């Protein structure tokens, strides 16, 4: 069986998988990804229209009163911290990067609220630079399918996926993994009974072994 069958299956399930954060520019994407920490893309999409109307550019966000940013974000958890981070990020973009979202991971990670995953999303989605952002879904799928070990760190999972997935598929396959994790191989009650990947799945094998053990 091909080592990459799992990729084919995900590609067939989600041929059009794409970023679910609404955005019109690299700046809007960057801000949306920062806001998506510990909340859903859906919740972020509800607040960003008003936010981007108030502050559509790095300069406008950098100079907007913090109370106005907080007000636009108040439906989100941690909205005060997030307002502070996006304002500081916009200020740095204006001061250090000439008002343009930077295009390297190293530079992106100097921005407040931007970790490795956020930087990878921006590289991949905004600039089409190959990257493998590892969020909770990607990490879970990689570990369940045995593409990474249970104890692996997020960075280790990223490196392993980069080795296993052809580089020209990194950008599309991470969206397919997110969709699969969000809607099918969910954290609780994954749809194993309808899954085409049971043969590849370490997690499924373990479940079956445990069932056999507890049978009288």
Catalytic residue ranges? 117, 135
From the CB of 141, what's the least distance to ligand SF4, in Å?
A: 7
Question: Closer to ligand SF4 at the Cβ: 80 or 205?
Answer: 205
Strands annotated E in the chain: none
Question: Closer to ligand SF4 at the Cβ: 115 or 146?
Answer: 146
Cα→Cα distances 43→32, 40, 48, 76, 115, Å = 10, 5, 9, 7, 20
How far apart CA 204 and CA 180 sit, in angstroms, is 15
Contact residues: ligand SF4, CB under 6 A: 144-145, 184-185, 190-192, 195, 197-198, 201, 203-204
Judged on CB neighbours under 10 Å (0-12, 13-18, 19+), 65 is exposed
Judged on CB neighbours under 10 Å (0-12, 13-18, 19+), 209 is exposed
From the CB of 162, what's the least distance to ligand SF4, in Å?
A: 20
Question: Closer to ligand SF4 at the Cβ: 43 or 196?
Answer: 196
Question: Closer to ligand SF4 at the Cβ: 9 or 156?
Answer: 9
From the CB of 190, what's the least distance to ligand SF4, in Å?
A: 4
Question: Closer to ligand SF4 at the Cβ: 101 or 185?
Answer: 185
* Cβ density class 150-160: b for 16+ within 10 Å, e for less: eebebeebbeb
Helix ranges restricted to H, the chain:
5-13, 26-35, 41-54, 58-63, 66-73, 79-96, 105-108, 116-121, 127, 136-144, 154-164, 170-183, 202-214
Token pair recorded at residue 63: 């100079």
From the CB of 46, what's the least distance to ligand SF4, in Å?
A: 29
How far apart CA 171 and CA 197 sit, in angstroms, is 21
From the CB of 147, what's the least distance to ligand SF4, in Å?
A: 11
């Amino acid at each position: 069986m091909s080592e990459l069958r799992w990729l084919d299956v995900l590609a067939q399930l989600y041929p059009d998988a794409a970023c679910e954060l609404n955005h019109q520019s690299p700046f809007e994407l960057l801000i949306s990804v920062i806001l998506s920490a510990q909340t859903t893309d859906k919740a972020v999409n509800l607040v960003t229209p008003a936010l981007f109307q108030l502050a559509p550019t790095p300069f406008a966000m950098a100079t907007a009163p913090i109370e106005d940013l907080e007000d636009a974000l108040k439906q989100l958890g941690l909205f005060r911290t997030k307002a502070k981070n996006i304002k500081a990020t916009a200020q740095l973009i204006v001061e250090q990067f000439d008002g343009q979202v930077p295009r390297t991971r190293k530079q992106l990670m100097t921005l407040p609220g931007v970790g490795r995953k956020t930087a990878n999303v921006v590289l991949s989605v905004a600039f089409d630079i190959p990257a493998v952002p590892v969020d909770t879904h990607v990490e879970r799928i990689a570990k369940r399918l045995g593409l990474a070990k249970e104890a692996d760190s997020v960075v280790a999972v990223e490196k392993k996926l980069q080795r296993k997935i052809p580089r020209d598929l990194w950008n599309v396959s991470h969206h397919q993994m997110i969709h699969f994790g969000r809607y099918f191989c969910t954290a609780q009650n994954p749809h194993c009974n309808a899954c085409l990947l049971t043969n590849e799945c370490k997690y499924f094998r373990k479940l079956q072994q445990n069932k056999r053990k507890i049978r009288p």
